[in-house]
Amino acid sequence: MTRSVPELSLRAFTEGDAAQRGAFSDAMMRGLQDYGFFVLKDHGVPLELLQRAYAEAEGLFALPEATKRQYAKGMRGYTPFGVEHAKDSGHPDLKEFWQVGHDPSAEAGDGVEPNVWPAEAPGVQAVFQSLFGALNDTGITLLRALAPKLGLASDFFDDKVRYGTSLLRVLHYPPLAADANPNAVRSAAHEDINFLTIMVAAKGAGLELLDRDGTWLPVVTEPTNLIVDSGDMLARMTNGVIPATTHRVVNPTGPNVSRYSMPFFMHPTLETSLAVLESCVGDGSKFEPVTAGAFLDERLRAIGLKS
């Protein structure tokens, strides 16, 4: 039987009774353990907001290259085509992107890097900030559903992620150039760094996960849905009980057109300990204790986003 990533309704958790909430938590845990991914419908992020975000993304990346590069200022704002690469890959990914995080505030802390907004695309700020906030709220809800499956209070993750170093990455994979590196792909095989990634279903195919039998499984769903996967930080905290699944974005085999994607990477605060949870130690911890900040710094250097 052909395997496919499970589809869950968040409304069963947010509006359901105790049995429905428990069933959602069970299904979420199974999805992350069996696939590392699941599809989320009825998530409450307005469809109109998703549509506006894609429209703004298309306009943003259509700006001249010189204009976009004025906003390449670190982890916020623009990252040019060909800069990022997968860990241990010698070939840059065929993508450019714009990143948005929490604005500096008393709650987020003084050390938060400010967001960067393009004067030439005035609609970007309001839309991307709204989408960041909506996906951050969704991530908190999902972690509340997951926590009891790990022997934790439902609010265990709340103070760790509400003002974490999470990022909304708005991605553009341009049409493949005639002289593109034949060894490069839109996004080489990798695992995400963070707790959870919540991705607005992309405009364009290409996302694949490495299934447990070693085959590549396409992840396809309606553009109104979200796609959720677990990252390395959650894998460390759970001692591999919840794995980080390898995935990639392959080059187009059909029409050679742009692909747009908007993953939200849910990170904890830099001070959060990634020590293995007591409920997951089993026969012993597979990972040394480390803070989220130290782990993030190491991984950003490994993928070329920090020198």
Q: Tell me which of 4-8, 153-157, 254-258 is least confident.
A: 254-258
Q: Which of 5, 96, 67, 39 has its CA nearest to residue 223?
A: 39
Cα–Cα distance for residue pair 145/208, rounded to 1 Å: 25
Count the Cβ atoms, other than its own, within 10 Å of residue 224.
Answer: 14
Read off the tokens for 297. 């710094």
| Residues belonging to the chain | 307
Q: What pTM does this model have?
A: 0.92
Q: How confident is the model at residue 89 (pLDDT cuts 50, 70, 90)?
A: low
- How much is the average pLDDT of 88-109? 80
Under 8 Å between Cβ of 202 and 58: no
Domains annotated on the chain, with CATH: 7-302 (2.60.120.330)
Pick 53 or 95 by higher pLDDT. 53
Question: What pLDDT score was predicted for residue 113?
Answer: 84
**Per-residue model confidence as pLDDT tens digits over 145-168:** 999 999 999 999 999 999 999 999
C-alpha distances in Å from residue 163, one per residue of 183, 231, 246: 38, 18, 27
**Per-residue model confidence as pLDDT tens digits over 271-291:** 999 999 999 998 899 999 999
CB within 8 Å of 65: residues ≥ 6 apart: 80
Count the Cβ atoms, other than its own, within 10 Å of residue 51.
Answer: 13
**284 Rama class: left (phi>0) / alpha (psi -120 to 50) / beta:** left
Question: What pLDDT score was predicted for residue 290?
Answer: 94
Question: What pLDDT score was predicted for residue 167?
Answer: 95
Under 8 Å between Cβ of 176 and 93: no
